Amino acid sequence: DAEITQSPRHKITETGRQVTLACHQTWNHNNMFWYRQDLGHGLRLIHYSYGVQDTNKGEVSDGYSVSRSNTEDLPLTLESAASSQTSVYFCASSRGIGTEAFFGQGTRLTVV
């Protein structure tokens, strides 16, 4: 069955380190999204991509970057991890405009 997977599921890292969270989908979806979820803030959009080589900033993109070199993957990189980036991160994908988005299981990141 097609799916979307995130790895790792849990990560503890130190302040200042570079961290990459992986997101892989097998639906061949064009759209991919990264969100962070914090208590009181809901899901906030970090970056999104409409297809290969397309990336766009969301509302909370500072300190994060993404690249889309193929359809299946959209890795999220924290350039220099900060304690404020401790959060649960969700990756999602959708086939096209206005269609259902499917979510990965989430990655719980702790920056100490």
Token match 């989908």: residue? 25
Cβ-contact 8, 93 below 8 angstroms: no
| Residue 112, CB-side half-sphere exposure with 13 Å CA sphere | 4
Cβ nearer to other proteins, comparing 18 with 99: 99
11-19, 20-28, 40-48, 67-75 -> range binding other proteins (CB under 8 A): 40-48
Give the whole-angstrom CA distance, residue 68 versus residue 32. Answer: 9
Binding residues for other proteins, total number by CB under 8 A: 29
C-alpha 99, offset from chain centre: 19
**Which window, 16-24, 64-72, 73-81, 90-98, contacts other proteins (CB under 8 A)?**
90-98
Q: Which is nearer to other proteins, 14 or 40 (CB)?
A: 40
100, two tokens: 């259902």
Which stretches of the chain bind other proteins, using CB under 8 A?
31, 33, 35, 40-45, 48-50, 54, 56, 58-59, 90, 92, 94, 96-101, 103-106
